Every structure is written in structure tokens, then in C-alpha cells.
A and B are shown apart, each in its own frame.
Chain A
Amino acid sequence: MSTPLAMFLGFIAITLVITYWAARKSSGASAYFAAGRNITAWQNGIAVAGDYMSAASFLGIAGIIAFQGYDGFLYSVGWLVAYLTVLLIVAEPLRNAGKYTMADVLAYRLRPKPVRAMASLSTLTVSTFYMIAQMVGAGTLVALLLKDSGISFNWAVTIVGVLMVAYVVFGGMLATTWVQIVKAILLMGGTILLSFLVMAHFHFSFTEFFDAITHVKDGDKVVNFLQPGLRYKAPYGPLDLISLGMALIFGTAGLPHILVRFYTVPDAKTARISVVWAMAIIGSFYIMTTFLGFGAATIVGKAFIAKNGGTNMSAPLLAQALAGDVFFAFISAIAFATILAVVAGLTISASTSFAHDLYTNVIHHGELADPRREVRVARITAFVVGAVSIAVAILLGPTFNVAFLVALAFAVAASANLPVIVLSIFWKRFTTEGAVCGLAAGLLSSIVLILISPSIMGTDGKHLIQAAPIFPLENPGILSIPIGFAGAFLGTLFSRVDADSEARFTELEVRANTGLGSERATSA
């Protein structure tokens, strides 16, 4: 058995033990959906980091920096700063006002059926796009990393899908949380080790390291990789950067799989401290992408990476160059763990939204004859989500370019979810019509703008639609986020003043700011 395969199996074994332990422990809806709200601040902080740092972070950013230098590092910055929106605006009110999903906050003061139906649609859209991107990425990677073991793309996708369903169906939120914690610790450990080896290569001299970065050999030319503009060039580059920044900064606080994590802690204060833990871990990780990305650019080189699997293989190939095959296997196993923890988080947030928002509250008016049905429906949904994701990923195949799906997920989260969350927490006049218009406007505008963007349209034979792009930017945020807000504003102003919503707003304000009446932890 090859070393990478052994390490993959080792990680799978650990996570299955966690799932078995969680399955024996948890019972009841609050245990299944929110881990009994008994997760501590540091545990949740690490789990948020594990939920958030996807393959796009670890392999994607390292790859972009390795190929296009400084511009890739801007992703790292945006992905951390985004947590200030979570910390200052969303996390605590959400924890105090809601129960299991993002839609709980909207339904608290608005008419529950329309807002839950729309919010659930938006949640499922974000989760699906994000999931497909992760699954296709996982298949490509695992097949590449394990190519000596003869595991194909289709098998890799199926294994990832089956595992994530197993965690979620049997272990619920508790198992998902601990899988994310183990993954985050492994990822941090691997990244620190890799950064240390990069610095050792440069004799622990930052001057030597940065001198190498400013003189990277790219074909016959010598390029300064520390200069901005290698990826985002004029005329639209700067606008695209700003648009991307907006989607990152405002999208993170609208990602359903991140938001549900704040329901797993006992109170708002713990939610706050957990964001700070997450910021410490996520920030340190993203600073270290300097070593991963520039290390790959200077030590491995663009030409070699391009020949051996492409941009996404930058970090594993760097590990191989620095410390040989066993370390390559270890870093590859971490990449695999990274994907698994993220897809498990996506699966549980999508199935929670379907069961809690659509099944219980829209179809059954919030009253189930048997409350255990909600958990059963969520388990079935997780199963369906898994099956559909496997099928779609196999259908699209390993050559399908998935990067725009992640951009789309962030853009929808920022344009549809964030405006209505913020306005329902802070705007007394906000109405149901406003929320529905805001969600619809944000959702539609981001999808349409991506469809007519250079990600989908192009004349080089590689794009889905063979025509010149109508919208010039890769990321729609700069337009779709204002459209989402405008939809929510106009929908509200054109609807009648809703006395119920305003009365319930006072209640929400008290609850969000003092924690009065908020969901309590269940005793373990």
C-alpha cells in the first residue's frame, strides 16, 4: 500500500471513530442540528476555521500565488478581514435570535412562510454551488494524489460523498464539528511545518526569501512576484479586485454553513469569543500562504508545477521538493481532510435548512406531530444531497472549471443573504415584502451576472457560451450586492407599514442585545 493511501485511510478511520462516538451520544433535535449548544468557544473557533478553510484556501491560494504572485495574496487578506463583518454585525444577534438556521432570524419578525421559503432556496443555492466546486475539486485532487493507487476521479468523488453523508447522517452536528476540529489542527500543523521548511531552505533569512520572490524565473524572463497586477490587469482588473473584495467581505457573513456554527455554542458571548479564536487561526494560516505560494514559486517553479498536475498541486509539490514523498503524502492527506470537513459542513447546513425551514415551518406550519420527524427528514435530505452531489460532480467531470462556482457562492451569500440579515436585525421598518424582494434580487442578479461574465462566456473554445462576455468582471459583487440591498429597500418602501413586524422588532432587539429568551444549551 502506498504511503498517501495509508495516510488517507488513517484520517478516514479517525473521523469514523468520531462519528461512531457522536452517534451514540446525541439524541434529539437540538443535539442533532446544534450539537446540544454545548460546544465551547475554542472548539467552535477551531471548527469555524475548519469549516471555512477549504481546498480553495489551501491549494487554490497557494496555486494562484505560485503562478501570479502578489495578487493571490489579496484573497488571503479578504478571507480574514471578512470575519470582522461576522464578529461586529452578525454572530451575536444571530445566536440570540435564532435556533438552527439563518432564516430563523428573518422569520422571528417577518411572516415566516415566504421568508423561510426564499431564505431556504438561497441557502440551498449557495450550498449546492459550493458543494459541487468542492466535489469536482476533490475528485481531481484525490485521483491525482492517489494516482499510484489506481483510484479514479469517479471513485474519489463517490468516496468523498459517501463519507460526508456518513458523518452527517449518523453523527449530526457533533461529528461534523469534531471532524472540522481535527482537520483544522492537521491543516495548521502541516502549514506551519511547510512554512518552517521553506524558511529553512532560505537559511531562515527573510531577506534571502524575499530577494528570491522579487526575482522569480518565468520562462526566459525574471519577474518580481511581489508586484501587484500580474493577475488583475487593466482595464477591468482593479474593478474586479474591488468586486471580489466586496463578495469576500460581505459574503462570509452570509454563508449558511458558517452561520449555523454559531448555534452550537451556549450563548452570544461564547459565539463572540469563538469568532476571535477563528480569526486568530484563520489569520495565521492566511499569512503563511506567503510561504506556501511564494515558496512554490521560488523553490519548485511554475514550469514544473504546470507539468505535474497544475496550479492546485503547488503546495503538495512544494512539500515533495522540500522533504520527499512521505511529506508529500502527509500534505496530500491534509488536503483530502480539508475537503471532507468542508463538504460535511455544507451538507449539514443544507439539510438543516430543508428540514427546519421548508419541511417543518413552511409545509407543516411549524407544528410537527412528532418532533423527531424533523431530524429524520434532515437525515434523508443529507442522503439526497450526497447522492445528487456525487452524480453532478461525475457528470461535470474532472476537466470542468469550477472556480467560478465558489465565486458564485460568495456572491449569492453577499448579495442575497447578507442584506436581509442585516436589515432584519437593524431596520425597524423592514417588511416581509422587502425581505423576499431582497433575497430574490440578490440571488437572480448574481446568477445572471455570472452567466454573462468572462467565467462562462468567451471566444477561445474553452467557455460554456461561445461569445464575447457581456459583463466584463469575473465577480458580480460590485453590482449584485447593491442590487440585493436595493431590492430589500424598495420592496419595503413599496409595501405597507407592517405593525406586527415593528412590534416584533422591539422584541428581536431586546433578545439580540440581552440574550433574553434565547435558545439554551441542553445538558449533555
Chain B
Amino acid sequence: MNTNAKTDWDLVAENPAFRKLLAAKKRFIVPATILFIVYYFLLPVSVGYWPEVMSAPVWGPLNLAYLFALSQFLVAWLIAYLYVRAANRFDQMGKEILEDLDRAKARQAAAKGTL
């Protein structure tokens, strides 16, 4: 076997499109993760340290604490929805990278044939 032949992994890792995919994922996942963690921990912090404020009724008998807790469900679902939408884009980029790989392998095989 030709030891100089690059593995599939190297071929993908060297593809600039792959770096772009990683960067695109990072641009979504890092802020989304920070957002949901901060938003979530605001809940135990606020109801833990300011229970009186959070107990004040704001809408009929409903208080801030319960509405804030309910909003956590909606925010979690919203982030999940946005992620799935973004991930469809990542899937497309991934598919193109794998097609690039097939072409690169075909070129490598052809080059080896002519040697």
C-alpha cells in the first residue's frame, strides 16, 4: 500500500469547507448554549433569593415565579426549533464535504493509475 496516500480523515480535515462547517456550528451552538444556561439559572437564582418579589401576582392569581417557570418550557422549545433549522444547513454542508471527498478519492485513484 502506498504510505503517502492520505486517509479519508485527512482529506476531509484539509478541506476548507470542513473548517467552515465547524465554524458555522460553533457560531450557533456556543451562543445558544450560553443563552439557555443563563436563562435557566436565572430561575433558581431569582426564586431562591427574591421569593417575595417573585410571589407578587402579575396576571390574575398568577405570579412572576410561575410565569417565568412556564416561559422556560417555551424558550427550550424555541431553541430546539432554531437548532433544528440551523442543523439542516449543517447537514447540507456535511453532505457537500462528503461529495468533495468522493471526488478527491477518485482523483487520487486516477493519479495512481497513471503513475
Contacts and interface: CB of A to CB of B under 8 A. Distances in A.
The answer to whether A binds B is: yes
A216 to B, nearest CB: 12
A89 B63 contact: no
A242 B44 contact: yes
Interface string A444-471: 0000000000000000000000000000
A31 interface: no
Main secondary structure of the interface of A (DSSP, over half): helix
A514 B45 CA distance: 39
Interface stretch (A97-105, A268-276, A306-314): A268-276
Given A70-B66, A74-B43, A280-B77, A514 B98 contact: yes
Contacts of A273: 84
Contacts of A299: none
Interface string B12-43: 11000010011001000100110011001101
Nearest to B97: A514
Interface string A67-87: 000100110111011011101
Contacts of B7: 507
Nearest to B36: A84
B93 to A, nearest CB: 9
A286 B21 contact: no
Given A87-B83, A276-B80, A515 B94 contact: yes
B12 A77 contact: no
B60 interface: yes
B79 interface: yes
A3 interface: no
Contacts of A244: 44
Nearest to A503: B9
B44 A509 contact: no
Contacts of B106: none
A397 B7 CA distance: 58
Which of B18, B60, B76, B90 is the most central at the interface, judged by chain A CB atoms within 10 Å of its CB?
B76
Contacts of A87: 80, 83
A206 B67 CA distance: 14
Interface residues of B, number: 51
Contacts of A514: 12, 18, 21, 94, 97-98
Contacts of A513: 18, 21-22, 25, 90, 94
A237 B29 CA distance: 32
Contact of B70 (A85, A213, A279, A287): A287
B84 A276 contact: yes
Given A269-B91, A515-B94, A226 B61 contact: yes
A228 B51 contact: yes
Contacts of B97: 514
Given A213-B61, A514-B94, A516-B12, A245 B44 contact: yes
A227 B65 contact: yes
Contacts of A239: 48
Which of B18, B29, B72 is the most central at the interface, judged by chain A CB atoms within 10 Å of its CB?
B72
B82 to A, nearest CB: 10
A232 interface: yes
B29 A214 contact: no
A310 to B, nearest CB: 25
A94 B81 CA distance: 21
A523 interface: no
Nearest to B66: A226
Interface string A254-280: 000000000000000100110110011
A97 B65 CA distance: 41
A510 B21 CA distance: 10
A502 to B, nearest CB: 12
Contact of B101 (A78, A83, A238, A516): A516
Contact of A506 (B13, B33, B55): B13
Contact of A228 (B47, B61, B80): B47
Interface in A143-186: none
Contact of A88 (B33, B54, B61, B101): B33
B70 A228 contact: no
Contacts of B48: 228-229, 232, 237-239, 241-242
B43 to A, nearest CB: 7
B9 A224 contact: no
Which of B43, B61, B77 is the most central at the interface, judged by chain A CB atoms within 10 Å of its CB?
B61
Contacts of A226: 55, 61-63, 65-66
B18 A510 contact: yes
A517 B84 CA distance: 23
27 contacts: A74-B69, A77-B40, A77-B69, A80-B76, A84-B36, A89-B29, A89-B33, A206-B60, A207-B61, A214-B57, A228-B55, A232-B48, A238-B45, A238-B48, A245-B40, A249-B40, A273-B84, A279-B77, A287-B70, A287-B73, A506-B9, A509-B13, A513-B21, A514-B12, A514-B94, A515-B98, A517-B8
